[in-house]
Structure 1
Amino acid sequence: MNANKSLGERGEDAAAAYLAGQGWTVLERNWRCSEGELDIIAHDGVRHVVCEVKTRSSTDYGDPLEAITPRKAVRLRRLAWRWASARGVPKDDVGVDLLGLVTDRDGFIVDHVREVC
């Protein structure tokens, strides 16, 4: 396993733990369809939330959330609706959040941005 994949997997694990610590229920991880993949699907107690996770070892080359372009946001919304359709969830009951993680000495610093698209 290369170092970047390991960092990404550790970041997704940390993101799932962060969400659980907020009282959320993680429903699925790495959901795939022919159009792409969703990192985490959770329920925040009110609605379903698709969480895109971006992990970096530092901010030397920018904040991890800068990787979410408008085009990527549109794709995330489309994938969220595709997940909702596959699970029988009304598409209006699905939000999209971003989680940017940067490593620090003790684990990760998490930046959670709600309802991005």
Structure 2
Amino acid sequence: MAEHNELGKLGEELAVGFLQKNGYEILETNWVFQKAEIDIIAKKNDILAIVEVKTRSSIDFGLPQDFVKPKKIQLLVKAVNEYIVSKDLDVDVRFDIIAINKEDNAYKIEHIEDAFYHF
């Protein structure tokens, strides 16, 4: 597996652990609909958190959250609509980003709630 794929997988595992530790129930990981893949679908209280995980070994080229582009957001919205309909859910939806940066031998995790409203 390419090094960036391994880093991405590690980032998603770190994000799942982070969310669980903060009271989220993980409903799905790597859920796919058409061309969209949702990294994590989690629930806390009555909120469905759609979580995009961005992991970087360096922030030399920008922060991880800077790499979520409008096209990706459109695909996520489409996928979430399908997920909600297919599961017959009645929940509020929030789009989050978990940005993970490798700093020395540790990983810094930042959870940005309602991330798409910050763009």
In 1, Cα distance between the equivalents of 2:46 and 2:21?
16
Amino acid at match of 2:76: L
Amino acid at match of 1:36: A
Q: Helix, strand or coil for the counterpart of 1:81?
A: helix
What percentage of residue pairs aligned between the two structures are identical? 29
In 2, Cα distance between the equivalents of 1:44 and 1:82?
20
Aligned residues: 116
Q: Is the 8 A contact 1:84 1:94 kept in 2?
A: no
Q: Helix, strand or coil for the counterpart of 1:76?
A: helix
Match of residue 99 from structure 2: 100
Match of residue 110 from structure 1: 109
TM-score by length of 1: 0.89
Q: Helix, strand or coil for the counterpart of 2:81?
A: helix
Aligned pairs for 1:1-117 within 5 A: 1-90=1-90, 93-117=92-116
Over aligned residues, Cα RMSD in angstroms?
A: 1.5
TM-score by length of 2: 0.88
In 1, Cα distance between the equivalents of 2:35 and 2:3?
26
Q: Is the 8 A contact 1:15 1:99 kept in 2?
A: yes
Amino acid at match of 2:111: H
Q: Could you list the per-position Cα deviations for residues 45-77 of structure 1 after superposition, in whole angstroms to 9, with x for gaps in the alignment?
A: 231111010110010111000001233223222
Q: Is the 8 A contact 1:80 1:96 kept in 2?
A: no
**Structure 1: gaps spanning 5 or more residues:** none
In 2, Cα distance between the equivalents of 1:103 and 1:61?
13
Cα displacement (A) at 1:35 = 3.1
